[in-house]
Amino acid sequence: MNISRQVNLQPFNSLGIEVYADYFSQINNLQDLAAARCFCQQHGLPWLLIGGGSNLVLTDDFAGLVMLMAWQGRQLVTCAELHFPTQSAPHIGYWQVAAGENWDDFVAFSIEQQYFGLQNLSLIPGTVGAAPIQNIGAYGADIAQVLQEVQVYDFANDQVFYLTAADCQLAYRDSVFKRRTDWIVTQVTFALSCVPQVNVGYGDIAKHLQQVIKQAPDTASPQQVREAVIAIRQSKLPNPDDIPNVGSFFKNPIVTATQYRQLLQEWPQLVAYPQADGAYKLAAGWLIDQLGWKGHRANAVGVHENQALVLIREPHGTAGGKEIMQLAEAIKANVQQVFAVDLQVEPRVVGAQGKI
Ligand SMILES: Cc1cc2nc3c(=O)[nH]c(=O)nc-3n(C[C@H](O)[C@H](O)[C@H](O)COP(=O)(O)OP(=O)(O)OC[C@H]3O[C@@H](n4cnc5c(N)ncnc54)[C@H](O)[C@@H]3O)c2cc1C
């Protein structure tokens, strides 16, 4: 394992923030992880694992070792080869994928190979290993629907172990990995279907299939759904290569039915989605939009002009993570003051010593 010194992390985070890591290495296998662990222990250093850097806000130079997850590999295995063997299901294929694989490359590959289930999650930036961390989701799907098992390296104890999907405690933008930050996902196994069933009931997918791709939604192929999702995402979300961002900056807050009804009296246009347990998930973007933040700019950071949930950094500006977080705090405070709703930041915020 090679360790470099004083490495600029700008190319490794989608906000393009220029901060430096005291030490930096690439992780290509288990030996690299074990060596990185020894290095951190010997020198008493904090560590940070980065995948695609698309869900990170770096507020300072990092006074430790940054590890870039670059481990590659994909293989189709039988149900008997799983760590937790399961009953044979002829229409299911189990794909074991290394954590450093690019997420969307794997989505494209799986569809080419005629294994389906990931098409609605097309074009989400980042790595396969990061997908379980916040149970990535979009267009009516999330990886909880296809996750079979996960291989984990415990950085605190130098141990490899496996988790079932249930062990991962996947929930809305949440998982056990948000609480066990010493656990590094090294491989994810997906149970994908050979039957080309599609889910076109969310957002504009059906409309796009009909009007642009000229395909009846109920007979659309997974590849056509992927194309629709990509086109819709590209029309709505800023590309971080042009406008640095981390996608949605806040989670959609969940409130009780009582709180929802109170808000509805004052705000009849409130956008909310009923949950199975009787609670309501509010559209955070709608709350922020009502307060006039869309298009806001100050200190070389701002709120995207079409997406109130997306905070941006001006591409050639000097703003860093601190300016982004000041803006996020101002928005949070404003939403709290007006709606009495607590917004939670979605990306991981990291300072000189680690997670803040
Ligand atoms: C334009 C844009 C659109 C987006 N759209 C969506 C969307 O539709 N749905 C959605 O859910 N998300 C979305 N995101 C957020 C982001 O793409 C996902 O959260 C993605 O999974 C992050 O992957 P990453 O490899 O970039 O993680 P990073 O940003 O590198 O890391 C994020 C956190 O996960 C940890 N981590 C990374 N890899 C591992 C690992 N192998 N083991 C343990 N911990 C790890 C890191 O330490 C860090 O704390 C979007 C982001 C952008 C920029």
DSSP-derived secondary structure letter, 252: P
Q: For the residues 202-230, what does the mean pLDDT come to?
A: 94
Q: Which atom of ligand 1 is nearest to the CA of 138?
A: 8
Query: How far, in Å, is the centroid of ligand 1 from the Cα of 293?
Result: 25
Strand partners, 93: 192
Residue 266 DSSP SS3: helix
Q: What is the tens place of the pLDDT at every residue in 233-268?
A: 999 999 999 999 999 999 999 999 999 999 999 999
The predicted structure's pLDDT at residue 88? 78
Among this protein's residues, is 193 annotated catalytic? no
Judged against a pLDDT cut of 90, whether residue 335 lies above it is answered with: yes
- Per-residue pLDDT at 355: 82
Going by pLDDT thresholds of 50, 70 and 90, the confidence category of residue 322 is very high
pLDDT at 354 over 90: no
Atom 1, ligand 1: residue with shortest CA distance: 247
Instruction: Summarize pLDDT for 104-133 with one digit per residue, the tens.
Output: 999 999 999 999 999 999 999 999 999 999
Pocket of ligand 1 (CB under 6 A): 14, 49-56, 69, 99, 124-127, 129-131, 133-134, 136-138, 177, 184-185, 237, 240, 245-247, 348
- Taking the centre of ligand 1 as the mean of its atom positions, its distance from the CA of residue 126, in whole angstroms, is 5
Res 36 pLDDT > 90: yes
What tokens appear for 170 in the block? Answer: 């996947």
What is the CA(42)–ligand 1 centre distance, in A? 29
pLDDT at 207 (0 to 100):
95
- Which pLDDT value is given to residue 25? 98
Q: Tell me: pLDDT of 1 over 90.
A: no
User: Cα(346) to centroid of ligand 1, in Å?
Assistant: 10
Q: What is the pLDDT of residues 184-201, one digit of tens each?
A: 999 999 999 999 989 999
**Does the predicted TM-score (pTM) go above 0.85?**
yes
Mutation choice for ligand 1 from 55, 152, 229, CB with most ligand atoms inside 8 A: 55
* Ligand 1, atom 19: closest residue by C-alpha: 55
How buried is residue 86: exposed, middle or buried, by Cβ count under 10 Å (0-12/13-18/19+)? middle
Catalytic pick from 248, 313, 323, 348? 248
Q: What is the pLDDT of residue 149?
A: 98
CA of 72 to the centre of ligand 1 (A): 17
**Domains detected in the chain:** 4-69 (3.30.43.10), 74-236 (3.30.465.10), 245-350 (3.90.78.10)
Residue partners of 231: CB distance under 8 A and separation at least 6:
208, 212
pLDDT value at position 325?
98
SS3 at position 54: coil
Residue ranges of E strands in the chain:
4-8, 20-27, 47-50, 56-58, 62-69, 74-77, 92-98, 137-138, 141-142, 147-154, 159-164, 183-193, 245-248, 254-255, 272-274, 280-282, 297-298, 301-303, 310-313, 348-350
Q: How many helices (H) and strands (E) does the chain have?
A: 7, 20
Give per-residue pLDDT as tens, 269-316. Answer: 999 999 999 999 999 999 999 999 999 999 999 999 999 999 999 998
The mean predicted confidence, pLDDT, of the chain is 96
Q: Which of 14, 120, 133, 170 gets mutated to test ligand 1 (max ligand atoms within 8 A of its CB)?
A: 133
| Closest C-alpha among 355, 56, 344 to residue 174 | 344
Q: Which of 37, 173, 313, 348 is catalytic?
A: 173
Residue whose token pair is 């290569």: 241
- 72-108 tens-digit pLDDT: 999 999 999 999 998 878 899 999 999 999 999 999 9
Packing angle between helix 103-112 and helix 222-236, nearest 10 degrees?
150
Q: What confidence tier does 356 reach under pLDDT thresholds 50, 70, 90?
A: confident
Specify the pLDDT at position 141.
Answer: 96
In the residue annotation, 173 being an active-site residue is answered as yes
pLDDT at 112: 98
Q: With left for phi above 0 and alpha for psi between -120 and 50, is residue 16 left, alpha or beta?
A: left
- Nearest Cα residue to 25 out of 3, 51, 44: 3
Q: Phi and psi (nearest 5°) for 212?
A: -105, -50
The pLDDT of residue 310 is 98
